[in-house]
Amino acid sequence: MMRSDSSMFLGAMAVFIVLLFFGGTESEDKRAKVSGEEEQMMEVSTSRLPQIIKSVRLDKKYMLAGEEFPMDNFDALERLDRELLVNSYWHSSTLLNIKTSKRYFPVMETILAEEGVPDDFKYVAVIESNLRNETSPAGAKGLWQFMSVSAKGYGLEISNEVDERYHIEKSTRAACQLIKRYKNRFGSWTNAFGAYNMGETRFAKEQANQKMDSYFDMNFGLETGRYLFRILALKEIMENPTDFGFYIDDQDPLYRPLDDCHILTVDSTIEDLGTYAIEHGTSYRLLKVYNPWLISGRLTVRTGKTYDIKVPKIK
């Protein structure tokens, strides 16, 4: 009887030890399987400023205007990393760019295709103006930030009443002509984009002084040095917004293309655009929203000249 009890006791102890050993191992395994994100969340819950800020993985091939980004260039990668981080965490600005692109990109994309310019050129307008009809400290205006001399050289009208740098269709075609000229001179679209920012003469001078042909091998001041990387970063974010935490409702009626309008050809002077707007069932404000190139309260039309004015459809 004692031998039986002893055997039972030893057997129970063996089972206990096995369960203890493997049970502990299972517990350790479970703890080991806690994901990195769960650990981060636990740390965040006890931190003084509860947030998670992550780096962007540079683990893919990047292309701009059909030209490959030099992934073997650590300096270029670091500069791209900076712009991806800055624009990923500059929430309001980047979100507004994504939303506003819904209005302007469809128009731009059609014109770029017709002009034989890479679709990625539209991101130059994002960098130049945040897709807003801004005026720079130097006096450049419109989505494409034309200076007056360059604008007039590419056929855009500028007067006290009209500034076609604010005309989306005409200014986009002018920008296409300009960038194609730079591409022909400097040999690549990336070089052409750099020249668009700093100017043709200055870019050519820097090429000669530095004895380098590629933008990526040249040293520039802060603005031009960041320029191409900002374009590439905004392209990456705006093409893949959810990858960077930006969620846009496709059903959102805001920032839609301004294509719900009539095109009225005007061949005589309009003395008062406010009266003109009322006569056509709209407001002065909306007339200017649809036609930002009208920069005065009247429109003088010279003999033989015509203008196409967009008038919102009456709903």
- Give tens-digit pLDDT for 12-65: 454 444 444 444 444 555 455 455 666 666 665 666 777 788 888 888 899 999
User: Chain-wide mean pLDDT for the chain?
Assistant: 88
H helical segments located in 154-219: 168-186, 189-198, 200-210
Are 228 and 196 in contact by the 8 Å Cβ rule? The answer is: no
pLDDT tens string 52-88: 888 888 888 999 999 999 989 999 999 999 999 999 9
Tokens of 263: 């095109």
What is the rounded distance in angstroms from the CA atom of residue 223 to the CA atom of residue 76? 15
What are all long-range contacts of 43-46, with beta carbons under 8 Å and residues at least 24 apart? none
HEC string of 227-243 equals HHHHHHHHHHHHHCHHH
| Overall pTM > 0.75 | yes
Return d(Cα 278, Cα 239) in angstroms, integer: 40
Cα(68)–Cα(64) distance, integer angstroms: 7
Tokens of 84: 């991806």
Please, are residues 223 and 190 in contact by the beta-carbon 8 Å criterion? no
Distance CA 208, CA 185 (A): 13
CB of 120 within 8 A of CB of 150?
no
